[in-house]
Amino acid sequence: MDQSCCCGAFERLQEEDLVLYILSFLHNLRDLFRLRAVCKSWYRAVLSRRFTTVYASSPSLRQLWCALRVRTEVPDDIGDFDNYYDYRMTLQNHVELWRPKEGGPASCCLTMGPHGSHFVGLCSSNGLVCGRLMEHESSLALAVGNPITNSWRTLPPPPIEECDVLPPPSLTISMLHDQDQGSYQIVVLYTKDSDAGPADENGMKFFSDEKMYLVYPMQYDSKAGIWESGLPFSFDTSQGSPLRGNAIYTYHVAHLILAYDPSSRLWSHYDRAAIANLDPEIDRGGDWEGWTPLSRLVFTYKGKYYLASQLVFWQDVTTYRSLGFSIWELNYELAGWVLVSRVLWRDLACSPMHEEEDHDWKLEVAGDMVVFSCFYKKATFGTLYPFAYDMIDSSWIAPCYEQNQGRFDDVECSYSFFPSLSAQP
């Protein structure tokens, strides 16, 4: 048989207009993502500027995608405590796609970073995701990419000393992608030990385990292609309150919330307000009685600042029982956090919390959705499943997973993003 007759019928469709016409009937970007692998001409068509223009108004581009890495068995190469967050191990057995409000997760072929890398997603903005490449041990190697087009860019490492590079759960990284300008900014806030004397009058040095440290900003502009360092936080360099900027750092020791604005390159800060006490009669005798906040995360949404916190009940000085999760809004007039919403774990239908273990939380804000996840822990198996909160309709959402023979899989949300056919890293 003539080999030329064996080529697929789809590949023989050479008219680009005809291919675009066929694909225009697809209203589900997930199906489109799969069908781009049919043949070369379809792959080129899906990534073409013309199709991007035609498909720009599709509802699929307004749906949040969450790429979940699923680990179904304990790795054999579990190390000691020093390698607690060593992501050079096998990160997942398979990858799943979860779209909140669009059903449960399903296996997919989304890529987890550049080919051959151990990519841990940390933030996203307008179709692009940013994360750390864990195979680089002595530097903070970052990559930015578009998971839909599978285009990735490895950034030059920021000039941060190895001793100042923290594991993923302790990194403070934010990203802002300007779609109109086709550029993005990345901000890394990191601490640096200070060998100077006691804290000065400006209070710019803080203590942790009898060490003094400063918080420095490092920002990357995709147009310039270089990292630039800013001034460390101090009360002299800060504008005070209200908070301004999307890069947020919480000083647990000094009881401060710091915010850095990459546009103005200025700091702002606020004395960490206490969570407003609810009327104890509201919770007396109920599921929330005796709650205490734990694992606080601060984020910004539409110019306002919010705190997400796990709520627990302490059974004694060392043991607690996890009750659920909550979101609070910063109210400057009341000088405190005001409750927005809270949910019990049983109502969220997540996997049960392991009461004897701490969880390193991961938070991503994408559009009107806040996605929560827990970082993998090498030495433990069975972590809390990711879940989300819709800031518009005040609803909590969790993927539907079934318990498998009394055991739960490890599921970590690597990154959350709104798919884009045009975003370029």
Among residues 240, 246, 248, which one has the least CA distance to residue 332? 240
Residue 16 confidence class, pLDDT cut points 50, 70, 90: low
Q: 63-417 in CATH: which number?
A: 2.120.10.80
Mean pLDDT over each residue of the chain, to the nearest integer: 76
Bridge partners (DSSP) of residue 144 are 130, 153
Cα–Cα separations (whole angstroms), residue 25 to 32, 34, 45: 10, 15, 14
Instruction: Encode pLDDT of 259-289 as tens digits.
Output: 999 989 999 998 876 676 666 556 666 788 8
Q: Which residue type does 148 have?
A: I
Q: Is the pLDDT of residue 20 over 80?
A: no
Could you tell me which residue, 128 or 290, shows the higher pLDDT? 128
Range in 84-93, 112-121, 166-175, 187-196 the model is least confident about: 84-93
Q: Where are the domains of the chain?
A: 1-59, 63-417
pLDDT on residue 379: 52
Q: Are strands 336-344 and 274-275 parallel, antiparallel or unpaired?
A: parallel
- Contacts for 51 with CB less than 8 Å, ≥ 6 apart: 20, 23, 45, 421
Structure token digits, residue 202: 């400006």
pLDDT > 70: percent of the chain: 64
Q: Answer whether 110's CB lies under 8 Å from 391's CB.
A: no
Q: How far is CA 186 from CA 74, 138, 268, 417, in A?
A: 34, 20, 18, 16
Q: Of residues 250 and 300, which shows the higher confidence score? A: 300
Residue 107 φ/ψ region, left for φ over 0, alpha for ψ in the -120 to 50 degree band, beta for the rest: beta
Residue type, 137: E
Whether the predicted pLDDT of 124 surpasses 70: yes
Kindly report which listed range (19-33, 167-181, 268-282, 303-317) carries the lowest average pLDDT score: 19-33
How many CB atoms are located within 10 Å of the residue 35 CB? Answer: 16
Of 148 and 21, more confident: 148
Higher pLDDT, residue 151 or 377: 151
Average pLDDT estimate for 205-212: 49
Tokens of 6: 């064996």
CB 277 within 8 Å of CB 341:
no
Which range scores top for mean pLDDT: 5-14, 73-82, 177-186? 177-186
What band does 227 get if pLDDT is binned at 50, 70 and 90?
very high
User: What's the pLDDT score for residue 84?
Assistant: 46
Report the C-alpha gap between 62 and 73 in whole angstroms: 34
Which amino acid, residue 96? E
Longest dimension (CA), the chain: 86
Contact 297, 308 (CB under 8 A): yes
What is the spatial order of strands in the sheet that 119-125 belongs to? Answer: 119-125, 128-133, 142-146, 151-154
pTM for this one?
Answer: 0.81
- Which pLDDT tens digit goes with each residue over 50-96? 666 655 555 555 678 888 887 766 555 544 444 445 555 555 667 88
- Per-residue pLDDT, averaged over 217-243, amounts to 91
Task: Assess whether pLDDT exceeds 70 at residue 22.
Answer: no
CA distances (Å), 20 to each of 36, 46, 60, 226, in order?
12, 8, 17, 38
* H helix runs in 200-331, sequence order: 280-283
Compute the average pLDDT of residues 234-245.
Answer: 88
| Residue, of 208 and 361, whose pLDDT is higher | 361
* CA dist list (Å): 281 to 277, 278, 347, 391: 11, 8, 22, 27
Report the share of the chain in percent with pLDDT over 90: 22
Does the pLDDT value for residue 202 go beyond 50?
Answer: no
**Which residues does 404 contact at the CB level (< 8 Å), separation at least 6?**
none
Mean pLDDT along residues 358-383? 77
